Amino acid sequence: MADDNWALRGDLLDFTGEPAWGQTQPPEVRWRPDHWVLVRGRHIEAVQAEPPGPEWRRVEHGGRLVLPGLIDTHVHAPQLDVLASYGTELLDWLNDHTFPAEARYADERTAQLGAQRFVKALLRHGTTAALAFSTVHEQATHALFEAAHAQGMRMISGKVLMNRHVPATLQDDVQGAEQACRRLIERWHGTGRCAYAVTPRFAPTSTQAQLTMAAKLLREDPSLYLQSHVAESQAEVQWVRELFPQARSYLDVYASCGLLHRRTVFAHGIWLDDEDRVQLRDAGATLAHSPTSNLFLGSGLFNWRQAHDAGVRVCSASDVGGGTSLNLLRNLAAAYQIQALLGERLTAWSALHSVTLGAAQALCLDGEMGRLEPGCAADITVWDWSHDPVVQHRLSLARGLHERVFAWFMLGDERLLRAAVVAGRVVPREG
C-alpha cells in the first residue's frame, strides 16, 4: 500500500552530483552500506544507519544493492512488437518493421493492451520512469498515460507528429495534430506523475509548418518537453540535407524553428559537429545515447567524451525497439564497449549516473527522483549482485567498490532485479 510506513534495508548507492569523466573514486558517489530507507506514503522520509523503530514495517534486503529507480530517456512504447527485426538499417527498418507495427495502434484495444504490456515491461526491467514515444494516434497516447498513471510512475510522452514521408495511415496534418496535442496536454500534463512531450518523430517526417506548430506549443507552455531524433545515421543526415537545404545542419532544422530549450531531449546525436554541440550546450538540451540501438542498426559510434567535454548533457537510453533490451544495465554495458572502441573508458559511475540522477536532472526532476534522499518520491530498485557462481566468484575478487559495481553492471541484467518500488508501492513480481 502506498500509505504504508515501511523501511527497506540494503546497501545504498546513489549520487550527489555528476562524477568527473574517467574518475573511479569521485566524491559524488554516495555509498551507504547496510542503511535503511524509510518510506512514508509515496515519498522517502529518511535514510539512516540505525534500525527504525517498531512503528515501521521492516523489509530486509541486507547485502543487496539498492539504487534509485532507473530512468529511460528515450524509448518507444509500441516497438516491443519489432524487437530484434533482422537485416535493415534505420530508414529501411522504419518502413519495413516500425511503421506497420505502429499502424496497428489505430485500434483502441490493441493500443490499450500494448500500453499495459509496455509499462509492465519497463518495471520488470528496473525502469521506474521514462520519456517515451507513443504513436501518431491520440487514443494510443491516452492509453499509455493511463497505463503509467495506474502504476503511479513518472511518464513523459506525447502523440507523435508526422505529416509526410510515412504511410497514409500514419499521417496527421498540422491543424488536426495541434488540436490533438492540446487535448492531450489539457488531460495529462500535470496529472499525477504524467507530463507531456511535444514529439515530432524526426525532421524528415514533419514539414516546416508542423515543426513551427510544435515550437508554438513550447512557447505557450515552457513546462512542456520536446523529444525527437537527431543525426542518428549518415543516410538520415543526408536525407535531411536534401529536405532542408537552407539549414546549416540537421540540428539547425530544429534550432531555427525554436525547438531547442532546457527540456529538449534528442535521441542519438552521433553525427553532430562542434557548432551543433555548442547549440545544445547553450540551450541546456540533452542527448539520449542509445547504445544497443546504434549497434543493432549499425548507425555509428556515439562519442560520449566529445559531447561531455563540449558541455552537453548525455543520458543513456534503451531506444527499444531499435535497442535490443529495455534493461538499462545491458545498454550501459554496450555504452562502455562503444566508448572503448573510441579509445575511451566509461566508468561505472558515469554510466549509472546517466540513468539515475543525471537523467532526472535532464528532465528537470532531480527534486523528485534519481536519488535516495528525503523528500524524493520512493522510486527504488533492489538488485542481487549475482545468481551465477562464476560471476559471484568474480565479484568476490573485486578490488574496491568501483571494480565490483562495474563488473556487476557489465555482467548483469534484469534477472538480478529483486524488487521495484514506484512512489512507495512495491510492484508485484510476475510469475
pLDDT one-digit tens code per residue, 241-283: 999 999 999 999 999 999 999 999 999 999 999 999 999 999 9
Q: pLDDT digits over 16-50, tens only? A: 999 999 999 999 999 999 999 999 999 999 999 99
Confidence label for 196 from pLDDT (cuts 50, 70 and 90): very high
pTM: predicted TM-score of the whole model, two decimal places: 0.96
- β-pairing, 286-289 vs 127-133, is unpaired
Sign of CA dihedral 130, 133, 137, 140: negative
Answer whether residue 333 is part of any domain.
Answer: no
Nearest to residue 322, comparing CAs of 114, 122, 113, 86?
A: 86
69 or 94, which is more confident = 69
The answer to whether 302 and 336 have CB atoms below 8 angstroms apart is: no
Whether the bond into 114 is cis, omega within 30 of 0: no
Q: What is the mean pLDDT of residues 204-210?
A: 97
Q: What is the mean pLDDT of residues 138-157?
A: 98
What confidence score (pLDDT) does residue 94 get?
87
CATH of the domain at 287: 3.20.20.140
Name the domain count of the chain: 2
Helix-then-strand count for the chain, H and E = 16, 16
Please tell me whether residues 160 and 297 are part of one structural domain.
yes
What confidence score (pLDDT) does residue 1 get?
37
Please tell me whether residues 32 and 122 are part of one structural domain.
no
What confidence score (pLDDT) does residue 88 get?
76
Answer whether residue 244 is part of any domain.
Answer: yes
Please tell me whether residues 46 and 173 are part of one structural domain.
no
What confidence score (pLDDT) does residue 3 get?
46
What confidence score (pLDDT) does residue 180 get?
98
Nearest to residue 197, comparing CAs of 6, 381, 362?
A: 362
Q: pLDDT digits over 329-356, tens only? A: 999 999 999 999 999 999 999 999 999 9
Answer whether residue 378 is part of any domain.
Answer: yes
Q: What is the distance between the alpha carbons of residues 342 and 348, in angstroms, rounded to a whole number? A: 17
Q: pLDDT digits over 116-126, tens only? A: 999 999 999 99
What confidence score (pLDDT) does residue 89 get?
83
Please tell me whether residues 322 and 273 are part of one structural domain.
yes
Share of the chain above pLDDT 90, in %: 94
Please tell me whether residues 95 and 186 are part of one structural domain.
yes
What confidence score (pLDDT) does residue 303 get?
98
Please tell me whether residues 45 and 81 are part of one structural domain.
no
Please tell me whether residues 86 and 50 are part of one structural domain.
no
Please tell me whether residues 183 and 255 are part of one structural domain.
yes
CA dihedral 295, 148, 140, 315 (to 10 degrees): -30
Residue that finishes a domain, picked among 326, 357, 387: 326
Q: What is the distance between the alpha carbons of residues 417 and 384, in angstroms, rounded to a whole number? A: 6
What confidence score (pLDDT) does residue 2 get?
43
Please tell me whether residues 395 and 285 are part of one structural domain.
no
What confidence score (pLDDT) does residue 183 get?
98
What confidence score (pLDDT) does residue 282 get?
98
Q: What is the distance between the alpha carbons of residues 108 and 369, in angstroms, rounded to a whole number? A: 32
The answer to whether 31 and 15 have CB atoms below 8 angstroms apart is: no
Which burial class, exposed, middle or buried, applies to 13 when counting CB atoms under 10 A from its CB (0-12, 13-18, 19+)?
buried
CATH of the domain at 32: 2.30.40.10
Q: In which domain, by residue range, is 152 found?
A: 70-326
- β-pairing, 70-76 vs 380-383, is unpaired
Q: What is the distance between the alpha carbons of residues 112 and 44, in angstroms, rounded to a whole number? A: 32
Please tell me whether residues 261 and 286 are part of one structural domain.
yes
The answer to whether 230 and 249 have CB atoms below 8 angstroms apart is: no
Please tell me whether residues 144 and 64 are part of one structural domain.
no
Share of the chain above pLDDT 70, in %: 99
Residue that finishes a domain, picked among 303, 326, 349: 326
Which distant-in-sequence residues (6+ apart) come within 8 Å of 366 by Cβ?
Answer: 357, 360
